[in-house]
Amino acid sequence: MIKGNAVIGQSGGPTSVINASLAGVLSEVKNTDMIDSLLGMHYGIEGLMNEWLINLGKQPSQVLEKLKTTPSSALGSSRYKLKEEDFPPLLEILKKYTIRYFFLIGGNDSMDTINRLESYCREQKYELVGIGVPKTVDNDLYGTDHTPGFPSAAKSNILNVMQAGVLARNMQKVDQYVVYQTIGRDAGWLAAATALARKQEDDAPHLVYPPEIVFDEQKFLDDVKKVQEKYGWVSVVVSEGLKYADGTPVSASKEKDKFDNMEFGAMGGASVGLNVHSMINKEFGWRGEFQITESLIMSDIARSVPQDIEEAFQCGVKAVQLAEQEDSGHMVCMNRISTEPYQINYEKVPLSEVAVRAKSMPRNYMNAEGNFPSPLFTEYIRPLIDELPEFTRLEMKYLNK
């Protein structure tokens, strides 16, 4: 068994439960004698490169107790993409601090970082156990039923659409439509989740458009017209990554990040929600509203799912257990063995199967029209979301009828 220090970092965008995974690692490290000290990378892999290391074993007990219910990335995050010239100095830092265990909590780009660093160390005959802890609100990691952070972000989206829908329904004599934009570059899991907001036929959302379905402007406008004629108003949910048949983003974004991913929202200098809103206004002349939450749903701990917090914590625990078995080159995953009753197992998946890939929603998770999630998707997501509020309606009984 390898003995030495461990280092842990958080990478990419945050979630409301990412610190619960950190807490899980901190908790389980105390139960093993293979790790002398657990060090924290301040600002992800950049923190390790610059030796910005924190002794997590010396944190006050009250800080650790509250970590599970604290949003965003407590250690600070980074989106730095490792270059080939970064590996030799990184190896020297690992040697300097006797780091034999490397944990990183993140998404597919983060898994790529672990995979590359672990592979380099193996080539250089330096024993390093690299373990990935899954995290992403987008739910687009391969090898796992879902990712910690997705259920809570999904619930935040659902509540936003529910409440915006009540507002839009009651304001339909002023505004005939509302457009809600959610994050989701390549996968529409978060957009599709809003289907749970719809409890009655005319509830929001009426139309949902994920990036997996090619966006057709004329078909979209036809869909909008049919719904407005039926209910008197329209609720539309769109993913930021919507694209036309030729691959052009509906948002008109042109900027890319360091991982060659298209930038959307503020950094992309464009908005699919605003553009779709404009299409409707131009075609029909209606007034309408639009909401863009951007990263707010990624750290909405106030509306998080308790089960999501616990699963994130257990993923951290499992990561240390895999490290103890020297199961290097793997990411913790959750395997669903039953939907009703809901039950999962914590297992592992090779980093090579996860790194730099995005798991799209299956086509059968959307209806034939491609404008609303199917019952199959509802069956998948329902066990992940806890109880939602019930709203009431006045009985519209006019005096003269």
> Which pLDDT does position 297 carry in this prediction?
96
Q: What's the domain range around 46?
A: 4-136+302-353
Q: Based on the domain organization, do 163 and 273 belong to the same domain?
A: yes
> Which pLDDT does position 64 carry in this prediction?
84
| 273 burial type by CB count under 10 A (0-12 exposed, 13-18 middle, 19+ buried) | buried
Give CA–CA dist 152/149, Å, rounded: 6
Provide mean pLDDT across the span 18-42.
96
220 lies in some domain: yes
Q: Based on the domain organization, do 165 and 127 belong to the same domain?
A: no
- Evaluate if residue 154 carries a pLDDT over 70: yes
Q: Based on the domain organization, do 173 and 316 belong to the same domain?
A: no
Which among 233, 243, 138 is positioned nearest to 193, based on CA atoms?
138
Q: Based on the domain organization, do 29 and 80 belong to the same domain?
A: yes
> What CATH code is carried by the domain that includes residue 317?
3.40.50.450
> Which pLDDT does position 252 carry in this prediction?
78
> Which pLDDT does position 269 carry in this prediction?
55
Q: Based on the domain organization, do 246 and 167 belong to the same domain?
A: yes
**What are 58-105's pLDDT values in tens digits?**
888 888 889 999 999 999 999 999 999 999 999 999 999 999 999 999
State the alpha helices, DSSP H only, in 207-305: 217-231, 272-284
Give CA–CA dist 360/280, Å, rounded: 27
> Which pLDDT does position 264 carry in this prediction?
54
Give CA–CA dist 374/105, Å, rounded: 31
**What are 236-265's pLDDT values in tens digits?**
999 999 999 999 999 875 555 554 555 555
53 lies in some domain: yes
Proportion of the chain above pLDDT 70, given as a percent: 96
389 lies in some domain: no
Catalytic choice (86, 138, 140, 308): 138
Provide mean pLDDT across the span 109-118.
95
> What CATH code is carried by the domain that includes residue 252?
3.40.50.460
396 lies in some domain: no
397 lies in some domain: no
Q: Based on the domain organization, do 231 and 155 belong to the same domain?
A: yes
215 lies in some domain: yes
390 lies in some domain: no
Q: Last residue of a domain, which of 311, 334, 353?
A: 353
Q: Based on the domain organization, do 287 and 370 belong to the same domain?
A: yes
Q: Based on the domain organization, do 236 and 277 belong to the same domain?
A: yes
Q: Based on the domain organization, do 244 and 113 belong to the same domain?
A: no
Annotation says 138 is catalytic: yes
Side chain identity at residue 348, one-letter code: K
- Evaluate if residue 132 carries a pLDDT over 60: yes
Q: Based on the domain organization, do 47 and 159 belong to the same domain?
A: no
**What are 322-377's pLDDT values in tens digits?**
999 999 999 999 999 999 999 999 999 999 999 888 899 999 999 999 999 999 99
> Which pLDDT does position 28 carry in this prediction?
96
Is the whole-model pTM more than 0.85? yes
Q: Based on the domain organization, do 154 and 221 belong to the same domain?
A: yes
Q: How confident is the model at residue 301 (pLDDT cuts 50, 70, 90)?
A: very high
348 lies in some domain: yes
> Which pLDDT does position 347 carry in this prediction?
98
Q: Based on the domain organization, do 257 and 122 belong to the same domain?
A: no
How many domains in the chain? 2
What helix, strand, coil percent values describe the chain, rounded to 5? 40, 20, 40
